[in-house]
Amino acid sequence: MKKPCIGITSSYDAGKRKDSLRKNRELYYLNRSYVLSIERAGGIPFILPPVETVADADIDTTLSQLDGLLLTGGYDIHPRVYGVNRVHPKTEPLDWLRLNYELALVKRALHRELPILAICLGIQMVNVAAGGTLYQDIPSELQNPLIHSQKENRDVLTHWVEIDRTSRLYHIVKTTRLQTNSFHHQALAQVAAGFRAVAWTKDGIIEAIESTDKIFRLGIQWHPEELIKYPKHLALFKELVKQASY
């Protein structure tokens, strides 16, 4: 059987940040763990660089070559995108190139009913593209939150996520309680129409959403690509590849 082609969004570095990989040089980059996760799950990875052209026809041309979409992590979505003018001091907005491209990509992928697995920034991008909102900074906006930006290595499990037994996510990981890593300071606030929250940490932070219809659109707030040595986390990528095979 032909392996499905999975598009993977990549990051853009304009060379202007304090943590830029190369000062004053524009680069695209992507953690290998995303590519490896798709390979291990049985798919063929295609890296998607954010480009300036975001016309529907051009985005559709890209998506027509793909069977599924993996949305990856990164910096923060500018709050104006979801109707908030005040930028929190802890918000680190994405460069405009990735923000504009990825919003257009997600909107067209939703329209085309493409299978989607969205990770960290990805879940936030799906939620905002579909009309939802975000908390800009968990520690300063919510009372008594857990630590959601761990100092431990990326493959270390640090907190537990409670999963709705009626959800698609439950049927993938086959548990109502899953231990995960955590590397985010923003989180979903209002969930967009067409999606529902299906996993939470004990402080109430939404850790996963999924579409309310039968289309595979799953958003995950943790980073399972760093945890594929654990079968339950690898299962998320296997499900994306499976859904993209239809």
Other Cβ atoms within 10 Å of 55 Cβ, number: 9
CA distance 35 to 155: 16
Catalytic residues, by residue number, are: 120, 223, 225
Q: Crossing angle for the helix pair 121-129 and 96-111, nearest 10 degrees?
A: 60
